[in-house]
Structure formats: C-alpha cells, structure tokens
Amino acid sequence: MKLEEIRKDIDKVDSQIADLFKERMALSLDIAKAKQEGNLPVVNASREKEILHRISNEVGEPLDGYARILFNTLFDLSRSYQNNYLSRVSDIGERIEKALEETPKLFPKKAVVACQGVEGSYSQAACEKLFEVPSTMYFNSFEGVFNAVEKGLCQYGILPIENSSYGSVGTVYDLMRNYNFHIVKSIRLRINHSLLAKPGTKLKDVKEIFSHEQAIGQCGEFLKTLKDVKITICENTARAAKMVAESERDDVAAICSRDCMELYGLESLNNNIQVSDNNYTRFICISKNLEIYPGANKISLMLTLPHRPSSLYHMIAKFAALGVNLTKLESRPVPGSDFEFMFYFDMEASVYSPELVNLLGQLENQPELFVFLGSYSETI
Ligand SMILES: O=C(O)C(=O)C[C@]1(C(=O)O)C=C[C@@H](O)C=C1
C-alpha cells in the first residue's frame, strides 16, 4: 500500500517536471529565435557552467552530482532543439546530399579492389562475395590497402575489422586515423580455419606454425593441445600457407582457409580448429569518395572527446535522444598523446533522418576531431 502511495506522489512530481520541461524547451526556442536575429552561436559554454554551478549549490550534497548529469542532459536536448529549429545546412549535410544524388543505385559488379595478403586470403573471399567480377590487387600490409585507395590506384579496398571470437583488428582501426577514406559496404564472413602442411607432414612432426595473429587467437584452444610447437605471427594467413608450401622444411604448418590447400598444394592436418563454430569476421569495403548506396542503414564515425568528466556519456546521450542503436564502440589510444583516445562508433541509423544529419552537423562544428566515415549496409 505504501509503495502505491509513494508512486502516486512520484506521478504528480513527474507531471510537474513534464510541464516544466515543456516550458524550458519553449524558452529555449525563444532563445534560438533571438540568437538567429543576433547571429549568435547556439552553444554558450559559460552560461551552461554558470547554471551548473548555481544548480549544484541549490541542490547541495548528496544530489549535486546527479543534478549536474540531469542538467547537462537538458542542455544537450535544448541545443539539439535549437539546432533543429535553425536547421543550418552543415557541410556534412551537403556532402551526404551530394553522395545520395551521385551514387549509382546498384553496387558495382566489377572494380579494381585492393586486398591484403595473397590469393587464398579471407579478404579475397570477402571481396568475391561483394563483387561479382573483381580485379584484385594484393598488398603486403593493411596500410598498403588504405594507401592504394587514397591514391586512387584501386577503386575499393577490403579490410577485416573485427572477429566474433577474438575482437577488433587493432591495426586497421589505428590506420583509419591516417588516411582519407569512406566505408561503402560491410560484410560478415564465416571463418573456418584449417591447419595445412606439405604432403607427407604429420601433425606430430610439426615444430612451427605460421599465421596471422587474429587466426592464432581464434585457434587458441587448439594450439594449447600441441606440445613444443613454436607459433610465429605473419601478416596474412594465405601468405603463411604460401610460405609453408615454398619452405624446405617438413616440420612447418599454417593456419589458414581450406581454399589454400588446392592453391598451394598443401594437405590438411586438421579442420575447423577455431574456438567456436560461430566464428565470424566483419570486413569493410572502403572507397576514396563518399558513396551511399540504397539500403544503407549503418553509420560509422570517428571522433575524439575532450578530457572532461562524462564527455563520452554526453556523446552517447545525443544518440540515445534520437533513439539510435549503437552497435559498436571502439577506443584506441592516440600515439604520442597524453592518454588521449580516438573513438569509433558504429550505429544503426539512416542519413535520411534530418535529426541525425543535424546532429552530425553539430558534431562537425565542435572543436574536437570528427570524421563521418560513411553510411552503408552489411552483407551477411
Ligand atoms: O542561454 C542560452 O544561450 C541558451 O541557448 C540556453 C541553454 C540552456 O538550455 O540553458 C542552451 C544552450 C547554451 O549552450 C546555453 C544554455
């Protein structure tokens, strides 16, 4: 009974808050109109600070911290409401509009595509699932792929970004900072690893195994069962297979795709050696220009945040206010900085939403780094 009574009181307070919220947002709109006339920016950081200071004192301990979070959220909503009213066309809004107009309605069947590794790599499998007739160029490193796309040597590039068992491909995330590119598609590929060796080599003879560190990580449980075997990391699984095939040694093996068996004349010592049967890797397809194909329902962003309490929380709150589902948040240290981080967001969102494009415009106008990586759909 007591609980019910308290809830009735809470309902009353909530109704008062709702009325006051409406009143506050209406005043915020009046401010937007005045700012439009005076050609003033929406954000006024010193005014926000002043309000926070006053409210913290009024509320006092122990609720002052909670009140600051509440008022910061109110400022976010207030600014977003003002920006929607003013709906200034942002650079990013214009670029998105242009890309929507100029991108062909169908994803190309043919293209020159950059992949890391050699024939038989998982990137090649992803590439062939995306393009019907690709002309594939192979590069030694992931950096080579970014470079080939940025320089225009290849129209598109394929890069692995995360695996369902072993997590993100850190090197690819780190390289994103250094290159101009856009994501135009993503693809999920089921990955089954095999242990391949030259014909005649038995599992008990194997003294050294070569592979990419992601594949080694995904096969950790299997590798633990082997005794006295050296594990050597190399840039690519298919390159590891090629190396084993060309080696003079009879005590080496590679973890790679089964496709490498026929390609390099190897035999399988074991199949499906990854930790889980549900082992998937996500690849992105990158291009130099912003291309947004029909059906794009994902958006990726890269940004830095100020070193202030709850700045990540406030960034996430902006997306939450629009009902956007964040599907991935990756943070990578910025080398040489004092523990600064680059944040990568993937979200389920559409560039056809004016509110979302508006928010992207606001983020672009903040002093911190903000990069719109693209809007695309994922092939499964
Ligand atoms: O006072 C202003 O200039 C407003 O725009 C209002 C408001 C607020 O909601 O209180 C909103 C945004 C500004 O950054 C500061 C304060």
Mean predicted confidence (pLDDT) in 199-207: 92
Q: Do 185 and 285 fall into the same domain?
A: yes
Please, what is the average pLDDT of the chain?
A: 93
Element (H, E) at 315: helix 311-321
Q: Do 361 and 226 fall into the same domain?
A: no
Q: Do 67 and 173 fall into the same domain?
A: no
Q: Is 79 in the pocket of ligand 1 (CB under 6 A)?
A: yes
Q: Is 36 in the pocket of ligand 1 (CB under 6 A)?
A: no
Q: Do 173 and 294 fall into the same domain?
A: yes
Q: Is 208 in the pocket of ligand 1 (CB under 6 A)?
A: no
Closest ligand 1 atom, CA of 82?
Answer: 5
Does the residue 146 lie in any domain? yes
Q: Do 54 and 153 fall into the same domain?
A: no
Boundary (domain end) residue, out of 270, 300, 317: 270
User: Would you place residue 166 in the very low, low, confident or very high pLDDT band (cuts 50, 70, 90)?
Assistant: confident
CB atoms inside a 10 Å sphere around CB 150 = 16
Q: Do 340 and 364 fall into the same domain?
A: yes
What's the 52 CA to ligand 1 centre distance in angstroms?
11
CA distance 334 to 332: 6
- Of 53, 77, 78, the residue with max ligand 1 atoms within 8 A of its CB, to mutate for a pocket test, comes to 78
Q: Taking the C-alpha atoms of 58, 59, 61 and 64 in order, what is their torsion angle to the nearest 10 degrees? A: -110
Mean predicted confidence (pLDDT) in 150-157: 96
pLDDT tens digits along 57-112: 999 999 999 999 999 999 988 988 898 888 766 889 999 999 999 999 999 999 99
Q: Do 249 and 362 fall into the same domain?
A: no
Mean predicted confidence (pLDDT) in 195-217: 93
Does the residue 304 lie in any domain? yes
What's the 60 CA to ligand 1 centre distance in angstroms?
22
Does the residue 260 lie in any domain? yes
What is the percent of the chain with per-residue pLDDT over 90, rounded to a whole number?
76
- Of 25, 75, 366, the residue with max ligand 1 atoms within 8 A of its CB, to mutate for a pocket test, comes to 75
Number of domains forming the structure of the chain: 3
Domain that holds residue 149: 92-190+280-379
Q: Do 350 and 372 fall into the same domain?
A: yes
Boundary (domain end) residue, out of 33, 53, 86: 86
The predicted pLDDT at position 136 comes to: 96
The predicted pLDDT at position 273 comes to: 93
The predicted pLDDT at position 1 comes to: 64
Q: Are 116 and 126 in contact (CB under 8 A)?
A: no
Does the residue 275 lie in any domain? no
CA distance 277 to 300: 28
Q: Cis bond leading into 62, ω under 30°?
A: yes
Closest ligand 1 atom, CA of 44?
Answer: 14
Q: Do 179 and 284 fall into the same domain?
A: yes
What's the 372 CA to ligand 1 centre distance in angstroms?
26
CA distance 99 to 290: 6
Query: What CATH code is carried by the domain that includes residue 103?
Result: 3.40.190.10
Judged against a pLDDT cut of 80, whether residue 246 lies above it is answered with yes
Query: What CATH code is carried by the domain that includes residue 13?
Result: 1.20.59.10
Nearest to 226 by CA among 216, 236, 235: 216
Mean predicted confidence (pLDDT) in 250-257: 94
Q: Do 287 and 172 fall into the same domain?
A: yes
pTM of the model: 0.79
CB atoms inside a 10 Å sphere around CB 27 = 11
Lowest mean pLDDT among 62-71, 227-236, 334-343: 334-343
Q: Which residue has the tokens 């005045």?
A: 34
